[in-house]
């Protein structure tokens, strides 16, 4: 089934795609329609030849995603809430499962579902104006789109517990200090920086980048000795690809490699 794009934009810029959450009048809050469109965008990017990096951001200069839409959630009953959480998890799982790197360019508030959306990306670049938090306990609920799980994997158990249990909001520099954010930029430089990194990644061997993401994702949480087996097999498998042959030959010939981009 095709989902009509009403509250997101998906732009393709050669090897880079940019997904923008576009509800600026609602600070880009996540409702059922946004969640469905994120799922559909992930599917479109997955099947679009030649896309090697996805950047996710929010419309305007105030908010990445301010959270889930409280007006939509307020009157939910048990089964409604369960279905809503499952849909949110499915959307963010679809982003996380993409075989290409996904960069969050956080341009403002990333609270609740917005923080969870950023956490589903491979790494986060933030505007100096960005604010992060999981304030759900202030509303009498807990994070429902993966915040209790992805946050602790990103910043550690104790810090995640503090953020979730206090509902605290932190700025970009503090988010950087605790390892939630990779880099902080001036607001007017954020998207240029995200695109520059995306272009760098897109110039690398695409099969190797995909394999690196796969191995790191599958190895997370495993015993080191078991995770290292994944690396050995992933490394060896690269030697069955044309990218490996071209990359190493180019190095020996002191030229830039010309990787396949299908």
User: 222: which 2 tokens?
Assistant: 């495993």
The helix/strand/coil state of 18 is strand
Active site residues: 116, 136
Residue 238 CA: distances (Å) to CA of 67, 96, 241? 40, 22, 5
| Residue 25, number of CB atoms within 10 A of its CB | 9
Sheet holding 123-127, edge to edge: 8-13, 16-21, 53-58, 102-106, 123-127, 183-185
Residue among 205, 211, 262, 210 nearest 237 (CA): 211
d(CA 165, CA 141): 11
Residue among 75, 151, 79 nearest 112 (CA): 151
Q: How far, rounded to the nearest angstrom, does the alpha carbon of residue 6 sit from its chain's CA centroid?
A: 21
Residue 42 CA: distances (Å) to CA of 45, 50, 190? 5, 14, 22
E strand segments, 24-118 = 53-58, 63-65, 102-106, 109-111
φ/ψ of residue 52, rounded to 5: -120, -10
């Amino acid at each position: 089934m095709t989902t009509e794009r009403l509250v997101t934009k998906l732009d393709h810029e050669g090897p880079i795609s940019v997904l923008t959450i576009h509800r600026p009048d609602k600070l880009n809050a996540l409702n059922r329609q946004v969640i469905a469109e994120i799922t559909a965008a992930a599917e479109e990017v997955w099947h679009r030849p030649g896309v090697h990096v996805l950047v996710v951001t929010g419309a305007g200069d105030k908010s990445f995603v301010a959270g889930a839409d409280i007006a939509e959630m307020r009157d939910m009953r048990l089964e409604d809430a369960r279905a809503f959480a499952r849909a949110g998890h499915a959307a963010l799982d679809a982003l996380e499962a993409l075989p290409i790197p996904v960069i969050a360019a956080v341009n403002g508030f990333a609270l609740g579902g917005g923080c969870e959306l950023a956490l589903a990306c491979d790494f986060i670049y933030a505007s100096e104006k960005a604010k992060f938090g999981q304030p759900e306990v202030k509303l009498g609920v807990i994070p429902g789109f993966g915040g209790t799980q992805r946050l602790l994997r990103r910043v550690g158990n104790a810090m995640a517990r503090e953020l979730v249990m206090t509902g605290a909001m932190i700025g970009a520099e503090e988010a950087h200090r605790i390892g939630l954010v990779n880099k902080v930029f001036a607001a007017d430089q954020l998207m240029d920086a995200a695109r520059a990194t995306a272009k760098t990644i897109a110039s690398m061997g695409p099969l190797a980048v995909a394999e690196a993401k796969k191995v790191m994702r599958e190895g997370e949480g495993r015993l080191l000795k078991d995770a290292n087996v994944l690396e050995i097999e992933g490394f060896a498998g690269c030697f069955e690809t044309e990218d490996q042959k071209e990359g190493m030959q180019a190095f020996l010939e002191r030229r830039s490699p010309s990787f396949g981009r299908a």
